Amino acid sequence: MAKHQYTPGQKSPISGEMDIIGPRGGDTGKDRTVIINHPLPPTPKPGQTYQIRERAHNRAGHGK
């Protein structure tokens, strides 16, 4: 089952760790810590997206 991917600038649905996914769907080995309802930061290269890896261990990690 494919996981939902998020684009840079889109508001983060959760607080926690998000992996950076390459343009062809592969894991780049990089991640970012994000905060709920804040815009996702720019990716290192064009065409990359974000995917949730681990939610925060508090209520902010549950999202809406």
Domain ranges of the chain: 5-58
- Indicate if the pLDDT at residue 62 is higher than 80: no
Q: With 0-12 CB in 10 A as exposed, 13-18 as middle and 19+ as buried, what is 33?
A: exposed
pLDDT in tens, 1-56: 357 999 999 999 999 999 999 999 999 999 999 999 999 999 999 999 999 999 98
Contacts with 17 (C-beta within 8 Å, 6 or more apart), sequence order:
31, 32, 33, 34, 52, 53, 54
Split at pLDDT 50, 70, 90, the class of 63 is low
**What pLDDT does 1 receive?**
38
pTM: 0.85
